[in-house]
Structure 1
Amino acid sequence: MTDRHAPPRGATPSTPALDRAGFVVPGRSGPPGGGGPGLTRRQMLAGSLAALGGVAAIGALSGCSTASATTGVRELAFWHLLSGGDGINMAGLVEDVNALDHGYHATQTVLAWGAPYYTKLAMASVGGRSPDTAIMHASRIAGYAPGGLLDAWDLDLLAEFDVTEDDFLPRVWEKGGLDGTQYSIALDSHPFVMFYNTDVAEQAGVLGTDGQLAPIEDPEQLLEVARAMQAVTGKHGLSYGYLGDGAQMWRLFYTLYKQHDAPFDLSGERAEVDDDAAIASLTYIQQLLDGTVCAVDGDYGTAVAEFMSGESGLFFTGVWELPTAKNAGIAFDAMPIPTLFGTPAAYADSHAFTLPHQSDPDPEQRRATYQFVSDLLHHSLDWAVAGHIPAFQPVVQSPEYQALVPQAHYAPAAEILNYDPEAWFTGSGSDFQNYFLETVQNVYLQGADPAAGWDAFIRRVNVQLSKPNPV
């Protein structure tokens, strides 16, 4: 166990690309919102939001929603942080369920990904101006629910709209709860997976008889497969971008760390971790970043471009890059990252529906909100088309989903998910992954001592554990 740490200096969070109004620039590809371009009805919808200056929906920032006096339709305020391809697809989904005429009309408010979004959501809950429902990353629930910023879901009422716990994988459902109370309902899971170029794999002789990548069962075998692919591409075997990107660094590290079946418990005053597993994982990442298997200093955009242009055979990324790969026109497939260290595991998060706190919610408004969320879950096949794995299992088990390739090939990753360790300062868009960037990047980039980098990171984590949750 690691417990030898001195306080570090504070971290500076990364800043997303914003327009002048402070909202995410739409149409961007890359983590975490991923998705390639391609003018569609959904893109036009997203463009319409942007054309109104990020205030397309910002008229709904007050979160005040009422029933129309003439139609009886409930006007719902729906906040989310989905940009790029994800934002395009969500705009289309909302349009589709609004057209069902189920007694509501939902209006979207799209806010800047990361800290700006979560700050505004907290302020809205405290100030009595919260929306009817909002998307949060499931990994952020532990920081918000204890402070009274979220209302609990009424599971009996949810069941009236044909949504129950049995419709979700246990890991995904449990992540939405805290101390026996359900604070979020997952829309999806978006794990870290491995894409591969099937043409390169075939030339490298690493395809199985089923046309998919032959099983990879240990660390050395992955290196061998990557080197065989590098011999075909002449550049790299694996694309993995991390430079200046704590989220990308953490996604790969945590996948490998949890494959050691190692604990990461932040429930006490000090982190309970497995130093040996962490150092072994970091050491293996250094082996990957040798300039042949993978670029030593690649950033995310470079890795995307390299794989999409056929200059590598493997790609470590999130499922959100599926539209980008399809638009690139390459022959590819995808799968969970191979189990290299004994325990199947993949880093992931989920977009999840929450009920930002309202002091005196209108019961009929709440019923309309439950209907809206249920409709989105039942119609989430389009969300799967864009890459994410639907959390609602009736969709995943449908013939339509099972016919989707490569989605059906990487869907098993949802059964081996590992969310961020629970603490008020962890989760997507938090400073936690920036701490990892600041303390460990030189381990990746310059071959620095893995033990020293890991100890520095855990010291930073322990400093945060000594502080109270500010919300």
Structure 2
Amino acid sequence: MGRRGFLRWGLAGAGAVAAPGLLSGCASPASPSGASSLRVWDLFSGGDGLLMDEMIEAASSGPDAFDVDRTILEWGASYYTKLAMAAAGGRAPEVAVLHLSRLAGYAPGGLIEPFDLDILAEFGIAEEHFAPAIWERAQWEGEVYAIPLDTHPFIVFYDKEIAGNAGLLDSDGELAPLGSPEAMYAASEALAEEQGGAGVLFGHIADESQCWRLFNGLYAQTGAVWELPEGGEPRVDEEAAVRVLTFMTEMFDGRRNPNNLDYIGAMAAFQGSRGAMIFAGEWELPNLRITDRPLGAAPFPQIFDQPAVNADSHSFVLPRQERVDQARRREAHRYVATMLKASYTWASAGHIPAYQPVIAEDRYAELDPQASYAGASEIAVLDPPNWFTGSGSNFQNQMTQPMSAALLGNTSPEAAVARMISASKSLLDQPNPVA
């Protein structure tokens, strides 16, 4: 993770993961700015973890190097619990990674602190460098509490050769617009015919988020908003919600396309050439490109009235400190700016860099298939903001369960939507534990 960095357990406990690197000893060495070693928490393991190692290694060399004290924690609810506890106790790191959809659970309770935009500007980072859809969600009550590193949308991967033979590609060899449920049904049937198997794959059985990811983007395409106002009732367009879920159940009805796949099964089927297209997160790119298939990708197709894709964003935040060391706080801003400017490396995992100048580079345009879905960041839709929503949350699980039952034919779209609204109401009735 860098020649002078080290990992430590601390509050991370058994959830921390050791990565390659040299221990710097008990003392915190000084960085070029005069601040001591910068403490950073993140949740990146596997391929993402290795890429973050590479970015930190680059930042930890040269005349303006950082000394990074990095802790890697297991992704999931435990990460957010530990981060909240550390911030509440004033013992948090200087920088942490947070899914942007989780911001509403941290900013209002004072668990994270706003960035100083003037300091960021000194290091070349400004609002103009981010897609408006993402930058807007990085704010709370007029202040910026998160700086996005990436956008990671729910997209479609497909076999280019099969899609071409099915007549679904445009003159540039990219997936042509669809524009309606009927067009999507027809496309899946054409893919199935060319594939000689399934047209479109989607794994949802026993998964806590998949149905919500698919639903949330499609629901936004209708122009409707799933609102969860504090102290109020859910505001939901039931007709639009039923319309979307009906499309999902008809798309995956067990005849047109499989309706009983779990996540791993769907991935394996696509990798094994038993399906021509898969609905999945862009983070699966490294797993899918190791096959010999001619892999294409695109933002999730517009099926309803307007373009929208479900997405989230790994973002940097400044956890609350009991005593703020201004030199270390400034160093935290510099570290964030450095990571953003190095995010071309991050793009190799499939993530869309949030820092737009990286996307504008010629070398990014040559990334295949990443460049094909870079526009998804402009139409990204995150979870409705509230303390209980966001990636890995119980909210996503409670939304997904009734929808998964509907896809299996165990309940109607109308009944499933009613359960989703009821679950939303129950969650709104619970007090915010950090308010």
TM over 0.5: yes
Q: What amino acid does structure 1 have at the position aligned with 2:89?
A: G
Separation of aligned partners in 2, 1:158 and 1:67: 24
Answer whether contact 1:252 1:347 (CA < 8 A) is retained. yes
Query: Which secondary structure does the structure 2 equivalent of 1:191 belong to?
Result: strand
Residue 435 of structure 1 corresponds to which residue in structure 2? 398
Query: Would you say 1:416 and 2:388 are equivalent positions?
Result: no
Residue 40 of structure 1 corresponds to which residue in structure 2? none
Query: Which secondary structure does the structure 1 equivalent of 2:20 belong to?
Result: helix
Which of the residues 187, 196, 203 maps onto 2:165? 203
Q: What amino acid does structure 2 have at the position aligned with 1:448?
A: T
Q: What amino acid does structure 1 have at the position aligned with 2:259?
A: V
Residue 324 of structure 1 corresponds to which residue in structure 2? 287
Q: 1:65 to 1:325 in 2, by over 3 A?
A: farther
Separation of aligned partners in 1, 2:256 and 2:49: 34
Residue 87 of structure 1 corresponds to which residue in structure 2? 49
Q: 1:148 to 1:212 in 2, by over 3 A?
A: same
Which of the residues 325, 329, 350 maps onto 1:362? 325
Query: Would you say 1:308 and 2:280 are equivalent positions?
Result: no
Residue 15 of structure 2 corresponds to which residue in structure 1? 23
Which of the residues 45, 48, 70 maps onto 2:20? 48
Q: 1:226 to 1:69 in 2, by over 3 A?
A: closer
Answer whether contact 2:35 2:328 (CA < 8 A) is retained. no
Separation of aligned partners in 1, 2:227 and 2:235: 5
Q: 1:67 to 1:258 in 2, by over 3 A?
A: same
Displacement after TM superposition at 1:100 (Å) = 3.5
Displacement after TM superposition at 1:101 (Å) = 3.8
Query: Which secondary structure does the structure 1 equivalent of 2:107 belong to?
Result: helix
Which of the residues 147, 151, 157 maps onto 2:109? 147
Residue 428 of structure 2 corresponds to which residue in structure 1? 465
Q: What is the root-mean-square deviation in Å for CA atoms of aligned residues? A: 2.2
CA offsets per residue over residues 326-370 of structure 1, 9 Å max, x none? Answer: 212310111111111111000000000000000221111112111
Separation of aligned partners in 2, 1:117 and 1:141: 14
Query: Would you say 1:426 and 2:389 are equivalent positions?
Result: yes
Q: Which runs of 5+ in 2 are unaligned?
A: 1-12
Separation of aligned partners in 1, 2:37 and 2:255: 56
CA offsets per residue over residues 230-273 of structure 1, 9 Å max, x none? Answer: 11222200111111112111000111111100011112411111
Answer whether contact 1:235 1:292 (CA < 8 A) is retained. no
Quick check: 207-216 or 346-355, which moved more? Answer: 207-216
Q: 1:71 to 1:158 in 2, by over 3 A?
A: closer
Query: Which secondary structure does the structure 2 equivalent of 1:338 belong to?
Result: coil
Which of the residues 402, 418, 423 maps onto 2:365? 402
Q: 1:65 to 1:265 in 2, by over 3 A?
A: farther
Separation of aligned partners in 2, 1:125 and 1:264: 30
Which of the residues 205, 210, 219 maps onto 2:181? 219
Q: Structure 2 length normalisation: TM-score? A: 0.92
Separation of aligned partners in 2, 1:136 and 1:419: 14
Query: Which secondary structure does the structure 1 equivalent of 2:15 belong to?
Result: coil
Displacement after TM superposition at 1:22 (Å) = 4.1
Q: What are the equivalent positions in structure 2 for 1:257-268 lying under 5 Å apart?
A: 257-268=219-230
Displacement after TM superposition at 1:47 (Å) = 5.4
Displacement after TM superposition at 1:74 (Å) = 3.1
Q: What amino acid does structure 2 have at the position aligned with 1:322?
A: L
Separation of aligned partners in 2, 1:345 and 1:71: 43
Answer whether contact 1:236 1:291 (CA < 8 A) is retained. no
Which of the residues 236, 261, 272 maps onto 2:235? 272
Q: What are the equivalent positions in structure 2 for 1:64-463 lying under 5 Å apart?
A: 66-68=28-30, 72=34, 74-268=36-230, 269-463=232-426
Q: What amino acid does structure 2 have at the position aligned with 1:133?
A: V
Displacement after TM superposition at 1:396 (Å) = 0.9
Separation of aligned partners in 2, 1:129 and 1:207: 53
Q: 1:235 to 1:74 in 2, by over 3 A?
A: same
Q: Which runs of 5+ in 1 are unaligned?
A: 1-20, 27-45, 50-55
Separation of aligned partners in 1, 2:50 and 2:357: 24
Answer whether contact 1:151 1:356 (CA < 8 A) is retained. yes
Number of residue pairs the alignment of both structures matches: 421
Separation of aligned partners in 2, 1:299 and 1:83: 22
Separation of aligned partners in 2, 1:95 and 1:398: 22
Separation of aligned partners in 1, 2:27 and 2:234: 43
Answer whether contact 2:31 2:67 (CA < 8 A) is retained. no
Separation of aligned partners in 1, 2:37 and 2:292: 41
Q: 1:357 to 1:70 in 2, by over 3 A?
A: closer
Displacement after TM superposition at 1:438 (Å) = 3.0
Separation of aligned partners in 2, 1:359 and 1:167: 31
CA offsets per residue over residues 419-466 of structure 1, 9 Å max, x none? Answer: 100111000111111111333321122251111111112111111112
